[in-house]
Chain A
Amino acid sequence: MRRSSRPQVAIVDYGMGNLFSVKHACAYAGMEASTTSTAQELLAADAVILPGVGAFGDAMAMLARRDLVSVLRDIAASGKPLLGICLGLQLLMRESSEFGRHDGLGIIDGDVVRLEGGRDHGRAAKVPQVGWNRIHRRGAQAWTGSLLDGVPEDAYMYFVHSFYVRPVDPGLVVATTRYGPAEFCSGLRQGNVCAVQFHPERSGPDGLTIYRNLAARLPASMPEVQHA
């Protein structure tokens, strides 16, 4: 197989999500990205990104229809970098209560619940949260060596969501965000699995840092292998 000299990232295409912005952000960070829904390509990639915009139940159904559920679990177990974005973060969890109870991928123990509205700095905090909000580092070293390495503490990122995750193990939480009465998990990490509630490909230069970090941890240029 002819291997490109650039790291290959596979973006899971299950019919939902802003694949193109993710793809462009990868390209900008020096990675070659392709959208795919085949297990083979996902397993062959250097890293996998699970994006997502939409409803949890629909997403799980789409993943199931494409036979991607066990594939994603395998990828998580393989040690390969797996980045979940927005709904992609939520899908990693054990279950969600969006429009009824749904099973998730179960890669991370915890559930997904609805954001409460309320007031935020004197204004109505509407649901979904649409807009820029700060992410707070959980502990001084929480981001060191992770995909958030180099992102300024309390940086602004772009959020569009009505639900948030509650991992059972608080040690997994690397970033939190305040909205309305809640302070929720906006970023978590479990070994090779890193996932964020916000959209790093839509969060300007700080968001792009995350993509650059991903690129930096992938195998460097591979020599081209020629076949006879």
Chain B
Amino acid sequence: MPEIAIKATDAQLDAKYGLPKEVRFCTRCVMSNQRPASMPEFRHRPDRRGAKYLHIDAQGVCDACRYADKKEQIDWKIRESELLRLLDTHRCADGGYDCIVPGSGGKDSAYAAHLLKYKYGMHPLTVTWTPTLYTDYGWRNFRNWIEVGGFDNVTFKPNGRVHRLLTRLAIEHLLHPFQTFILGQKNLAPKMAARFGVPLIFYGESEAEYGNPIAETATSLRDASYYTMRNLEDVYLAGLPIPALMERHGLSLNDLSAYLPADGEALASSKIEVHYLGYYLKWTPQEAYYYAVEHTGFQARPFRTEGTYSKYNSIDDKIDDLHYYTTHIKFGLGRASYDASQEIRNKHLTREEGVALVRRFDGEVPERYVREVMGELGMKPEQFFELCDRFRSPHLWKREGGAWSLKHHVS
């Protein structure tokens, strides 16, 4: 039975992980100030030192909504011409690849890859880090992306034993079942770019659209600190420093290498650039869905994803449902909150509708896959739920009559 390294002092904090003690909801979308901004996952420590959270201004509007306003002012023709210039300087005529599109065949990577290849005449190499556990539709959509959409693909599958161990440790120390996937997916593309000698990488939307510091939206580039490291000593995986992983859990540096970011210096000299396509093209996630159905054989699932109302968002990994359940536990924000907020900003939903959806679906227990995922990781579902309870912050949760409930509901 692995140790559970939750420090006793954590339980004494009023608000865990440096979360803002006062809970505020955005008056435009349904996000709250408890939403964590992206941090490089390889710096993620159990106390979330240095973590930032969604900023809601004095008017009650969050940064993501402010950015959505700004988006309306953008001259997309100018942005597209910037894209064309960028692409022109990289486009290959000798039969090689000229850009890397990371993804798993979900609607966003399907859209990005297809546009780059068929509209803009580029020669993308798609790069995939496999989900922890493919769903049926996830696998089918991935295959269709390649077969119907028509792309070359390199797939990296990590060592199963290492992956299962690290994922389990991430759950135990961080209640973060998704960390290993994020680490793998975000770190893979720059490394592949270096190996293939293709310096241009395209992601879809910038996370800034969702609430990262608004300064990040001023550029098309993903900040290198997200995918490079300078010093192995700064790195934490599954909430543990590298030496602890190696000594306590018998992992070698080679075992861990797939989860480590590229070396900063080495990458700097390689001229690798990671761009967000969403900086250059107006990105409407729902339209990416239609596009993917139309062009790459994408299919939404025939059932609602647990915790939300959507059928096409992030449906390739069974562990996804657990991930959003843990965000609900840790931050009081489940999947419906994320999905609805994005759709409100895109004006597909009114705030009232968003609130109704959050009230109805947020925090739904992930019954569908929890047993299978836990079994895969060598854990029992009960352990997972026990851990969940320990990660509930007292400033968010109260216990009444044997049941947990949130202190604050969006309204």
A–B: direct contact at CB < 8 Å? no
Q: Which residues of A approach B to under 8 Å, CB–CB?
A: none
